[in-house]
């Protein structure tokens, strides 16, 4: 599962970076540039969670820092995407999936504004005043608009691919056995009888269907009958999970 996740993440990040540098950066749009790499990190963080989101964001940002024609300090965008990926991963619900597109779109809008502010803030700390010369307000507005327009085509696709690469945890029981195999470990089956393949009867030691013989009514059986309020003997197996 982790190998598939790493390979898928690496492929998505590399493709997003190539398209970002070779296509989107050359469109000469006013203001900011649509950030495909940011949207890819957001899509992965919404599926994988905050820890993996921070790691993916750091690696993706570091690749963007060293990819030509980068003109800023190495590690600047890595720090930004690491924080953004961590924050986006915190919005992952306990069920694993968002029920509507409202939360992902709010995450995209917040990430577009937050990444621009963080990038400009880190640049101000290292002496880069390009953001103030261009106009921070215009950058915030255009970055948010571009990312929101591109998000419906990128984020759902990335999230679908990430979920498809995840292994279904319900496919097998812990220890490699199936649910039926786990039922055979109960004490009332340890005497040699086991569930039939159809789940409706018992098998004897030779694997052939066996009959349940009526024995003497002990005090325990009488107690079960009295607590059942006149129910049939089959009702005594109510607590056993039927297959």
Please check whether residue 173 lies inside any domain of the structure.
no
Please check whether residue 135 lies inside any domain of the structure.
no
Residue 96: pLDDT band (50, 70, 90) is low
Task: Using the predicted structure, report yes or no on whether residue 1 has a pLDDT greater than 80.
Answer: no
Residues 6+ apart with CB under 8 A from 156: 43, 101, 104
Q: What is the pTM of this model?
A: 0.66
Please check whether residue 98 lies inside any domain of the structure.
no
Query: What share of the chain has pLDDT > 90, as a percent?
Result: 37
Higher pLDDT pick, 33 / 235: 33
Tally: H helices and E strands in the chain: 9, 2
Question: Largest Cα–Cα distance of the chain, in whole Å?
Answer: 95
- Distance, CA of 189 to CA of 202 (rounded, Å): 9
Please check whether residue 9 lies inside any domain of the structure.
yes
On the question of a cis peptide bond just before residue 69, with omega within 30 degrees of 0, the verdict is: yes
Task: Using the predicted structure, report yes or no on whether residue 60 has a pLDDT greater than 70.
Answer: yes
Structure tokens at 3: 């190998």
Locate all alpha helices (DSSP H) within 67-101, ordered by sequence: 76-89
Please check whether residue 186 lies inside any domain of the structure.
no
Please check whether residue 159 lies inside any domain of the structure.
yes
> What is the per-residue pLDDT across 161-219, written as a single tens digit (0 to 9) for each?
998 877 544 433 344 433 333 333 333 233 444 444 444 444 455 555 555 455 555 55
Task: Using the predicted structure, report yes or no on whether residue 124 has a pLDDT greater than 90.
Answer: no
Please check whether residue 240 lies inside any domain of the structure.
no
Domain that holds residue 8: 2-21+33-92+103-124+140-166
Q: Return the sign of the alpha-carbon dihedral for residues 232, 238, 239, 243.
A: positive
Question: Which letter, b or e, does each residue of 2-18 get, where b requires 16 or more Cβ atoms within 10 Å of its Cβ?
Answer: eeebeebbeebbeebbe
Domain count, the chain: 1
Please check whether residue 234 lies inside any domain of the structure.
no
């Amino acid at each position: 599962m982790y190998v598939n996740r790493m390979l898928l993440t690496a492929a998505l990040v590399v493709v997003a970076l190539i398209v970002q540098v070779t296509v989107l950066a050359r469109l000469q749009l006013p203001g900011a540039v649509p950030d495909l790499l940011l949207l890819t990190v957001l899509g992965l963080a919404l599926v994988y969670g905050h820890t993996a989101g921070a790691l993916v964001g750091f690696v993706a940002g570091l690749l963007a820092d060293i990819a030509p024609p980068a003109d800023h300090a190495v590690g600047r965008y890595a720090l930004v995407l690491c924080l953004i990926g961590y924050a986006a991963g915190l919005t992952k619900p306990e069920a694993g999936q968002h029920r509507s597109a409202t939360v992902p779109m709010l995450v995209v809008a917040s990430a577009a504004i937050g990444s621009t502010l963080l990038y400009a803030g880190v640049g101000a700390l290292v002496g880069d005043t390009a953001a103030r010369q261009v106009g921070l307000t215009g950058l915030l507005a255009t970055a948010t608009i571009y990312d929101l327009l591109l998000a419906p085509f990128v984020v759902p696709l990335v999230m679908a691919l990430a979920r498809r690469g995840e292994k279904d945890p319900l496919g097998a029981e812990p220890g490699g056995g199936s649910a039926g195999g786990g039922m055979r470990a109960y004490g009332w089956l340890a005497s040699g009888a086991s569930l039939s393949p159809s789940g409706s009867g018992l098998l004897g030691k030779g694997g052939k269907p066996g009959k349940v013989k009526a024995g003497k009514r002990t005090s325990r059986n009488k107690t079960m009958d009295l607590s059942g309020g006149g129910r049939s003997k089959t009702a005594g197996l109510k607590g056993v999970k039927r297959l």
